[in-house]
């Protein structure tokens, strides 16, 4: 999902203190939350720091494809809604950085990791938003997929992450409905508008399915993160849930999905879908998607162009403090 790149190998080092380890696991098994200053295995801290910060980076980079359409939204109402949505994404990024910082890594460090290319973010934000219909698709499908993944995270064993996810899930619900409403308006509009909606679905469907990460057959992280109750469902389970929930919504719009293998399996009651092109997934994660370079360039530019503001704010705060100290000193004389 927003942390797909976690599905790469990370050797969990055996902990030095197995008794502490066992006590920790017992707490997790009893569904007790782990809080920032509690003892935790180093690998748990490392995995969570990576997962939460990647999640945060995804929210921040996710502002770019949508920000692209703020000035061109078709009505004032749509523009206000999109602006609020993009602001929410920024907020989500900040809640998550704040949660990740409780594990002992500063936000500055995490941002550096993103800008240097060391840290990853979700592959989905490396696809371009070519038409207004793409904004509808992002709300309906990208945020819809995110919700599917994030609801179980509200019960994650790490307290600050779980609390941040509860806030985020509440807000994502607006995003998804906002997107679906855009799709509905297009599908009930002129044939050209409906065509635009269909083309957007055709372009985004497979990349959205990839958001859930590698197939369970190839995912290496599931065991430990499941044991630690960070992850509650496997990639494939969540992907299936998403497909089952989404296909009828698409049919209601009168749209078709770009997958000839998609059909309702009478026996299981689930929608069967075709094979995902994992080579594309790997390419985009590795940095070679349609917009990877542009996204990073924009993030770096935003960060660098904001440097003077951060410096000025700190200098001003310093000056005021110095002035206050001088005033106290004078009063004391």
Partner 1 sequence: MTEKNSPLWEVFIRSRNGLAHRHVGSVHAADATMALQAARDVYTRRGEGLSIWVVPSAAITASDPADKDMMFEPTASKIYRHPTFYEVPEEVGHM
Footprint of partner 1 on this chain (CB under 8 A)?
Answer: 35, 37-39, 84, 87-88, 91, 94-95, 98-99, 101, 106-108, 160, 163-164, 171, 307, 310-311, 313-314, 316-317, 320
218/318 with CB nearer partner 1: 318
Burial class of 199 by CB neighbour count within 10 A (0 to 12, 13 to 18, 19+):
middle
Instruction: Give the integer Cα–Cα distance in Å for 269 and 67.
Output: 39
167/251 with CB nearer partner 1: 167
Q: Where are the alpha helices (DSSP H) in the chain?
A: 18-29, 42-61, 63-67, 76-101, 107-115, 132-137, 143-153, 159-187, 191-210, 222-227, 235-252, 278-283, 292-305, 307-332
66/88 with CB nearer partner 1: 88
Q: What is the 3-state secondary structure (H, E, C) of 257-271?
A: CCCCCCEECCCCCCE
In degrees and rounded to multiples of 5, residue 215 shows phi and psi of -60, 155
45/283 with CB nearer partner 1: 45
Q: Residue 119 contacts by C-beta under 8 Å, 6 or more apart in sequence?
A: 50, 53, 54, 57, 110, 113
45/163 with CB nearer partner 1: 163
112/288 with CB nearer partner 1: 112
What's the min distance (Å) between Cβ of 290 and partner 1? 31
Instruction: State both tokens at 80.
Output: 């206000």
What's the min distance (Å) between Cβ of 217 and partner 1? 38
Q: Residue 205: count other Cβ atoms within 10 Å of its Cβ.
A: 21
Q: What is the dihedral of CA 147, 104, 6, 128, to 10 degrees?
A: 60
What's the min distance (Å) between Cβ of 152 and partner 1? 21
What's the min distance (Å) between Cβ of 198 and partner 1? 34
Spatial contact of 200 and 131, defined as CB atoms under 8 Å apart: yes
What's the min distance (Å) between Cβ of 317 and partner 1? 4
What's the min distance (Å) between Cβ of 71 and partner 1? 21
């Amino acid at each position: 999902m927003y942390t797909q790149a976690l599905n790469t190998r990370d050797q969990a080092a055996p902990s030095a203190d197995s008794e502490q380890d066992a006590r920790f696991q017992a707490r997790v098994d009893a569904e007790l939350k782990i809080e920032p200053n509690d003892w935790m295995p180093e690998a748990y801290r490392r995995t969570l720091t990576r997962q939460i910060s990647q999640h945060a980076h995804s929210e921040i980079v996710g502002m770019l494809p949508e920000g692209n359409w703020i000035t061109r939204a078709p009505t004032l109402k749509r523009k206000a809604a999109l602006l609020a949505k993009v602001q929410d994404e920024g907020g989500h990024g900040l809640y998550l950085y704040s949660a990740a910082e409780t594990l002992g890594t500063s936000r500055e460090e995490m941002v550096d990791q993103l800008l240097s290319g060391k840290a990853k973010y979700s592959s989905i934000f490396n696809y371009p938003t070519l038409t207004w219909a793409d904004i509808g698709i992002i709300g309906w499908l990208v945020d819809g997929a995110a919700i599917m993944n994030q609801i179980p995270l509200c019960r994650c064993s790490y307290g600050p992450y779980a609390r941040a996810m509860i806030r985020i899930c509440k807000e994502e619900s607006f995003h998804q409905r906002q997107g679906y409403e855009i799709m509905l308006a297009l599908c009930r509009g002129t044939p050209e508008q409906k065509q635009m909606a269909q083309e957007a679905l055709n372009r985004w469907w497979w990349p959205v399915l990839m958001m859930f990460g590698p197939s369970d057959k190839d995912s290496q992280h599931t065991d430990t993160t499941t044991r630690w109750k960070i992850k509650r469902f496997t990639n494939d389970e969540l992907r299936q849930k998403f497909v089952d929930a989404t296909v009828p919504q698409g049919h209601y719009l009168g749209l078709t999905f770009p997958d000839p293998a998609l059909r309702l399996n009478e026996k299981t009651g689930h929608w069967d879908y075709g094979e995902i092109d994992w080579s594309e997934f790997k390419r985009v994660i590795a940095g070679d998607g349609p917009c990877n370079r542009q996204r990073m360039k924009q993030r770096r530019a935003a960060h660098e162009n904001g440097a003077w503001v951060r410096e000025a704010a700190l200098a001003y705060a310093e000056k005021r403090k110095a002035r206050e100290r001088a005033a106290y000193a004078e009063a004391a004389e």
